[in-house]
Structure 1
Amino acid sequence: MVNYPRVYAAEQTRPINLVGKMGQEVQIYIHAPSQYICANRERILPDWQQQPLFWVVIVLQRSHYPLVKSTPEIEQEKQNLREKFMRFGCDLVFSLRDRGYLADLIDPRTGYPLFSRPGQIPHNDTAVVKALLNYPILKNKCCVLVHPTWGTAVYPSIFISTAPPIILELAIKSMALMHGWQEVEQEELVNSQ
């Protein structure tokens, strides 16, 4: 077996841009964890204390509606987007775990990890996106993210793993295809709007 040198990027600034079969846009970013997560790791992710390095994967799904109000249609849309993330995230977790990497996803509804022991405090997906991508937040009944092109029609979700960014990117792209998400270039997205 050949041992290749490990090259880890500090963070990925360009998203992986995906589009679903029905035209739904998805953006995925790979980042080092925020300072808040690092400082509160044992309270948020107690099973991850012994991990010297892990990565945060931000999954942003474009919603059909702005997510600032609570109507039956908007709540159903949030549930649909949560389910899509959970299916994608679970498959990604098992794929990475099969390769020997620790991986988990944060349930967007509860803020707690799905496969790891929950901590004393929940994870805040919106706060992480603000900290890592510098997207503004609207304070409503709950905090609502403001995407630079989608506005408030965005559903954030978080995935974490000890896999290095290049492995994460390859696994994400492979799993995205299995879930009907095709990779597109940013220029293609701009031209289609």
Structure 2
Amino acid sequence: MQYSVHPPSEFICQHSEKLLPDWSDPIRSIVVVLQPADRELTEHCPEADHQKQVLRSQFLSFGLKVTEMLRQQGHLADLFDPKTGLPILSESGSLRLDDVAVVRSTLGYATKAIGNCFTVIHPRWGSAVYPSILMSSASRELVESIVAGLLECHHSLRG
């Protein structure tokens, strides 16, 4: 898994009330999570669909741990369902989050149109990548610390 923490883009700042209408504090940080897939996720086959389900489940499990820790410290935090573009824990707004556009704007990765959808082109993984987004009212430094701590704990448990 690859992750990075960023300030919100101008687009997200301008449209935060359409993404997270019940938030009383501004979005201060965005976590971009990229997971490698074992195949191109642009394929339309049962194997690619299964891989998307597995990676979505892994992100939701990880993201819920991050948001729980941030919320316990008094911050707003939510993860966006990669399947729907809607927040998991907060009220849904009138705008769905385009995770591919967020990856393009924050990381500068290329994207490619596949039918009506766009996919991220990762420098090492190509289109065998699953993007996901988490947002918080907490500082980038705090979010970075929590994410790094969870990943370190996860790796030591597997190690």
1:43-62 mapped onto 2 (5 Å cutoff): 43-48=18-23, 50-62=24-36
Q: Distance between the aligned counterparts of 2:156 and 2:75, measured in 1? A: 24
Aligned to 1:40: 15
1:1-193 mapped onto 2 (5 Å cutoff): 26-48=1-23, 50-141=24-115, 142-180=117-155
Q: Is the 2:110–2:120 contact (alpha carbons within 8 Å) kept by the matching residues of 1? A: yes
Please list every run of 5 or more consecutive structure 1 residues that lacks an aligned counterpart in the other structure.
1-25, 183-193
Question: Residue 34 of structure 1: CA displacement?
Answer: 1.4
Please list every run of 5 or more consecutive structure 2 residues that lacks an aligned counterpart in the other structure.
none
Which range is displaced more, 114-123 or 35-44?
35-44
Q: Percent identity?
A: 39
Q: Distance between the aligned counterparts of 1:153 and 1:44, measured in 2? A: 27
Question: Residue 134 of structure 1: CA displacement?
Answer: 1.1
Question: Residue 169 of structure 1: CA displacement?
Answer: 1.4
Q: Distance between the aligned counterparts of 1:88 and 1:132, measured in 2? A: 21
Question: Residue 167 of structure 1: CA displacement?
Answer: 1.2
TM-score by length of 1: 0.76
CA RMSD, aligned part only? 1.6
Misfit runs of 4+, over 6 Å? none
Which structure has more relative contact order (CA 8 Å, sep 6+)? It is 2
Shift in alpha-carbon separation, 1:135–1:79, aligned structure 2, 3 A: same
TM-score by length of 2: 0.92
Give 1 or 2 for the bigger CA radius of gyration: 1
Amino acid at match of 1:47: D
Which range is displaced more, 36-45 or 111-120?
36-45
Question: Residue 180 of structure 1: CA displacement?
Answer: 4.0
